[in-house]
A and B are shown apart, each in its own frame.
Chain A
Amino acid sequence: MKQIELKICLGTSCYVMGSSHLHELVDMVPSRFGDIVNVVGHNCLGQCSKNLEAGGPPYVQVDDEIIPDASIEKVLQYLEIKLK
């Protein structure tokens, strides 16, 4: 199976909205899903200036999909469904 890339946005807006707490994903994700998901930090994903209807920062990007208002639970849940 192809590896999935998970980017945690560490840009200014996301950072002040709490993306720094998402760093736990770095350990959590591999222990739960194995090496299939590669977690990396990323600078501004360019979402914060888009005024997304769906929700605001912090953003996490999984491959091409954006998860707004990301929290640890939300991201794990998302992966759970995606990898099923």
Chain B
Amino acid sequence: MTRKQWRKQAAGCPAMFIDIDYAQVKKYNQNAYGDYFSSKRVPGRVIAVLSDGLGSGIKANILSCMTAIMLLKFIDAGADIKKACEIIMNSLPVCKVRKISYATFSALDCRDDGETHIVEEGNPQFIWIRDGQVLETMPQIVPSETFSKRKMQLYDLKLMDGDRLVFCSDGVTQSGLGSPELRLGLRRDGLIDFVLKKIAVKPDISSRELSKTVVNFAQNTEIDRKAQDDISAVSIYCREPRKSIVFTGPPYHNGQDGKYAALFKEFTGKKAVCGGTTSNILARELNTPVNIKVSFTSGSLPPPMEMEGADLVTEGILTLTRALEYLESPEVVVNEDAAGQLVRFFLESDCIDFWVGAKLNQAHYDPSLPVEIEIRKNVIKKISKLLEEKYIKKVSLQYI
């Protein structure tokens, strides 16, 4: 592989990264969420659905969950988002008593190049923010063939680097309803006001944090902080991807050490090295010392090391194996040991490129060792799968 090809492959990350996350609060005194959010990152795009089920509690939960998942599957299976939404809209039943639809939804299909399609049926209109200002777009309206009062709005947008979208359920826009200050609730204007202020204070706030603050704000707006409806917020932030590489294991051919060390040095994102021998190679090739901070502190892992030009340097297989355990646990526990720092490194990146040296360390397969040492390649495979599926990262693997 030439350097140019290599760089192209290593940069297998799109120019724009779509950071998407959501937050929810249940209606006061309910034990299930009546809103449901589901999203999926597929190559080149992100699709997501937020649905609000009629009523609250378990019944609403089932309605919204079914709507969101069906719709997501539909779009994922290759259906055009408009078509998919139309079919769902026309088939969603109407509540006999209240004469309104069983579930409302917002669906989104957002591509890496910014081309975005949004369909809304019954949910509050989303907010589109660019450079600290709200952009308004006119929707195309599609009435339902089967239900006279039902219609959906279609929007086609072209998102740019730095743009944000905020979606919410009506629990947000109606929060505070009936209070002396907000007799009509927060409404969309109140929400816009809040979000713009928040972004002004913290321009690079993550989607996770923004949706959390919106939900908290809505709950605080309610009288006595008792949510009168399910409150959900979804936030999207288009930004430059945070790229990083993890260099682990010595390259198969000794002769390549210099080349990879140079590529490592050139890389502009964040860099981690996992492996004593690997760091020794880099130290030798780049002529920078590796130092261990001898604070033989926490736990049962070799401590992290320090090297100029790398953000994190750890021992190899033991640390990786432990990091895998952390990532597998349902609640990520991030200890302060080297594996914990590695996990944090992963979570703070969007696109992670693993350079996996294929050379085996014979010493690790000495039968007299008291523990069994896994093969690096297998551990990395498991880690990358988890990062992709559970933590929605973009991961690439290169064996060198």
Contact = CB atoms under 8 A, between A and B. Distances in A.
A41 B316 contact: no
B323 to A, nearest CB: 14
Interface in A26-80: 26, 39-44, 46, 48-49, 56-57
B370 A10 contact: no
Contact of A16 (B277, B303, B371): B371
Interface residues of A, number: 22
B280 A41 contact: no
B370 A17 contact: yes
B294 A43 contact: no
A23 to B, nearest CB: 4
B276 A44 contact: yes
Interface in B277-336: 277, 279-280, 290-294, 296, 300, 302-303, 305, 315-318
B378 interface: no
A10 B292 contact: yes
Interface stretch (B7-15, B89-97, B342-350, B361-369): B361-369
B302 A15 contact: yes
B200 interface: no
A44 B361 CA distance: 11
Contacts of B291: 40
Contacts of A23: 294, 296
Given A40-B294, A44-B277, A12 B370 contact: no
Given A11-B276, A16-B318, A20-B300, A40 B292 contact: yes
B373 interface: yes
The A interface, classified by DSSP as helix, strand, loop or mixed, is mixed
A13 B305 CA distance: 17
Given A10-B315, A44-B280, A46-B280, A16 B369 contact: yes
B302 A11 contact: yes
B19 to A, nearest CB: 35
Contacts of B364: 12-13
Contact of A20 (B276, B293, B296): B296
A43 B366 contact: no
B216 to A, nearest CB: 43
A49 B361 CA distance: 7
A67 B82 CA distance: 72
A48 B371 CA distance: 16
A41 B315 contact: no
A16 B361 CA distance: 14
A20 B302 CA distance: 8
A15 B363 contact: no
B300 A43 contact: no
B363 A13 contact: yes
Contact of A43 (B290, B296, B318, B373): B290
A10 B296 CA distance: 10
A49 to B, nearest CB: 5
Contacts of A8: 294
Given A12-B318, A41-B303, A43-B305, A56 B276 contact: no
Nearest to B368: A56
B232 to A, nearest CB: 46
A12 B317 contact: yes
Contacts of A46: 277, 280
Contacts of A26: 294, 296
Interface in B181-235: none
Interface of B: 276-277, 279-280, 290-294, 296, 300, 302-303, 305, 315-318, 361-364, 366, 368-371, 373
5 contacts: A16-B370, A26-B296, A43-B292, A43-B305, A46-B277
